Amino acid sequence: MRKFIIATTALALSAGLALAQETVRMGTEGAYPPYNFINDNGEVDGFERELGDELCKRAGLTCEWVTNDWDSIIPNLVSGNYDTIIAGMSITPERDEVIDFTQEYLPPEPSAYVALSPDVDLKGGVIAAQTGTIQAAYIAETGATLVEFATPDETIAAVKNGEADAVLADKSYLDPIVAESGGMLVFAGDPVPLGGGVGMGVRESDTELKEKFNQAISSMKADGTLNALIRKWFGEDAATF
Amino acid sequence: MFSFCTDPASLPQLEWFACYLTTGKHMAFYGSFLVVLLLLLVTAPVALAFGFGGAMAARARFAPLRWFGKGYTAVVRGVPDIAFFMFFVIALDQGIEWLRHKIRCPDWEQPIRQGNDFVVCAQAKMPLSNAAQWVHEAYGFTLAVLTFSIVFGAFAANVLFGAMRAVPRAQVETAEAYGMTHRQAFWRITVPQMWIYALPGLSNLWMILIKATPLLFLLGVEDIVYWARELGGAKTSAYSYPHPDWRLWYFLALLVFYLGLTRVSEIVLGRITARLSHGQATLGGQALRKGAG
């Protein structure tokens, strides 16, 4: 009997170990449609949800989705609360010093200003952006006054209630918001090319996981499924590979 | 939820709201109210126990224990809650993983700190990365309860320490004259009588604890503030129920919830005060005596 117990425990333990190495926790923000958002059933949804599930399938990994505030999304990756960041994060040299990125799964895309009227002062006015984004860093350089918010939704609300003159964000995030604002919000100025494409963030020590996802992304690029997915979520005119 | 909810865009207003307010996301929102209540129900007794222990330690005749008790109240009360929450939870989490790592993976060769990364072996992860999501949430919740209890325990320790000293000295002297030991006098005379002196301070702490529950959000627990912000934000047609910025209404609901909770607490605390005042040499006790006579 005792032998049997030991054997089953050993079996359970080793099964646990095998599983432990294959479950990957995917960290996302869940507040940035169409990239990632929490749908009305309370589940993570969006372009990155579909992409992530497909990548995990191709890499043979079991994936579990977790949401985390944008503010602390890098620190919580580094301290091991989840294993990847898949949250519309542009690859920048500053971030690359702290974490590693897979190859890009979205080509670089422009950012745009949105305001209540098309002729606001973008160089000297008050511009809203989400904390810790490439847009926030860019505004700080232009000489405009930067106001930062924790969520992308609050940056839009700030423009609507007059707290900020304009908001700078990824154009694909702003497109549906402007289209559905009933003429209240308009694009101002020219789109600004920022960032070097969007990739998945992983811990610098996690080279094996990074390689698995790199291969999965390559295979999705090769058979055209990635482009189809981009067109599905970002529209027919979206930049593809 | 309802059978007519399949195509929300075509619904008249009343049905639309009936469907909207019963989505899975709203259910999670309602569930988070229970999380807050659960946190209060678990934290209050645990914090009181911490406080009692702290107060006893601060009164101890054995010097190191006394230093520990005094140090605990002084340090925790002196650090801003938010700083303590941020630091303590990360430190505790990493401390637990480090210990498990040392026990479970003794022959692991790589360093635990690699640059910015905190890397322990897969078996030392707490909870294991293949554990179900609810295990992760329960673990986060437990960390939150522990942190809340340590913070509020320090304040409770100070309140109880003062209350123990406020019991009239003559009571303890009488107990000693009857031949009770130090310990007997403490448990039979001081502790039963100190509560009336502790109650104003403790009820204050309870109110502050209620108001501090939104800090759960900082600890990564998806509480009512998180859901109110998430649900209230403007929604485009990427969602089934697009709507403009409704955060005002959601936060108004939170305001009503918290006011209701504190109001109920006030009534209950008032009753406890009346009960504990019986036969006490305090103004409240005096009033009760006169009323009865």
Q: Could you confirm whether domain B24-292 is CATH 3.40.50.970?
A: no
Contact B258, B212 (CB under 8 A): no
In a domain, A78, yes or no: yes
Same-domain status, A102 and A117: no
pLDDT higher than 60, residue A212: yes
Same-domain status, A171 and A73: no
Q: Which residue of A has its CA nearest to B91?
A: A79
pLDDT higher than 60, residue A236: yes
Same-domain status, A97 and A211: yes
**What confidence category does residue B191 fall into, taking pLDDT thresholds of 50, 70 and 90?**
very high
Question: Which of A105-109, A111-115, A168-172, B236-240 has the weakest average pLDDT?
Answer: B236-240
Tens digit of each residue's pLDDT (9 = 90 or more) over A24-64:
999 999 999 899 999 988 899 999 999 999 999 999 999 99
Contact A153 B23 (CB under 8 A): no
For B118, the closest of A42, A78, A160 (CB atoms) is A78
* Residues A121, B236: Cα–Cα separation, whole Å: 27
In a domain, A182, yes or no: yes
In a domain, A241, yes or no: no
Alpha carbon of A1: minimum distance to chain B alpha carbons (Å): 26
For residue A15, what pLDDT is reported?
43
**What DSSP state is assigned to residue B122?**
G
Tens digit of each residue's pLDDT (9 = 90 or more) over B61-96:
899 999 999 999 999 989 888 888 878 888 888 888
**What confidence category does residue B240 fall into, taking pLDDT thresholds of 50, 70 and 90?**
confident
Alpha carbon of A232: minimum distance to chain B alpha carbons (Å): 12
Instruction: Write the DSSP string, A125-189.
Output: SEEEEETTSHHHHHHHHHTSEEEEESSHHHHHHHHHTTSSSEEEEEHHHHHHHHHTTTTS-EEEE
Same-domain status, A189 and A203: no
For residue B185, what pLDDT is reported?
93
Is A18 near chain B, with CB under 8 Å?
Answer: no
* Residues B44, B53: Cα–Cα separation, whole Å: 14
Is B17 near chain A, with CB under 8 Å?
Answer: no
Contact B117 A78 (CB under 8 A): yes
For residue B108, what pLDDT is reported?
78
Is B229 near chain A, with CB under 8 Å?
Answer: yes
* Residues B43, B72: Cα–Cα separation, whole Å: 18
Number of Cβ atoms within 10 Å of the Cβ of B279: 11
Same-domain status, A184 and A225: no
Strand, coil or helix: B212: helix
For residue A21, what pLDDT is reported?
47
Same-domain status, A116 and A183: yes
* Residues B186, B248: Cα–Cα separation, whole Å: 52
For residue A187, what pLDDT is reported?
94
**What confidence category does residue A11 fall into, taking pLDDT thresholds of 50, 70 and 90?**
very low
Alpha carbon of A73: minimum distance to chain B alpha carbons (Å): 11
Same-domain status, A158 and A50: no
Is A182 near chain B, with CB under 8 Å?
Answer: no
Same-domain status, A121 and A160: yes
Same-domain status, A100 and A211: yes
For A31, the closest of B27, B230, B242 (CB atoms) is B230
For residue B293, what pLDDT is reported?
57
Proportion of chain B above pLDDT 70, given as a percent = 99
Q: Please, what is the average pLDDT of chain A?
A: 87
Is B114 near chain A, with CB under 8 Å?
Answer: yes
For residue A18, what pLDDT is reported?
41
Same-domain status, A117 and A143: yes
Contact A42 B230 (CB under 8 A): no
Contact B97 A157 (CB under 8 A): no
Tens digit of each residue's pLDDT (9 = 90 or more) over B137-180:
888 889 889 999 999 999 999 999 999 999 999 999 999 999 99
Rounded to the nearest 5 percent, the helix, strand and coil shares of chain B are 75, 0, 20
In a domain, A10, yes or no: no
**What confidence category does residue A14 fall into, taking pLDDT thresholds of 50, 70 and 90?**
very low
Strand, coil or helix: B26: helix
A171: containing domain: 110-193
- For the domain that residue A124 is a member of, what is the CATH number? 3.40.190.10
Number of domains in chain A: 2
Contact A40, A1 (CB under 8 A): no
For residue A183, what pLDDT is reported?
87
Mean pLDDT confidence for A123-151: 92
Looking at this protein, which amino acid is placed at residue A185? Answer: L
For residue B221, what pLDDT is reported?
81
Strand, coil or helix: A204: coil
- Give ipTM to 2 decimals: 0.77
* Residues B214, B84: Cα–Cα separation, whole Å: 15
Mean pLDDT confidence for A196-201: 92
Print burial letters for B165-199: b (CB count within 10 Å at least 16), e (below 16).
eebeeeebeebeeeebeeeebbeebbbebbbbbbb
pLDDT higher than 80, residue A195: no
Tens digit of each residue's pLDDT (9 = 90 or more) over B11-65:
888 888 888 998 889 999 999 999 999 999 999 999 999 999 999 999 998 999 9
pLDDT higher than 50, residue A67: yes
In a domain, A7, yes or no: no
Mean pLDDT confidence for B97-102: 88
Same-domain status, A222 and A167: no
For residue B1, what pLDDT is reported?
61
Same-domain status, A118 and A94: no
In a domain, A1, yes or no: no
Contact A137, A144 (CB under 8 A): no
For residue A10, what pLDDT is reported?
47
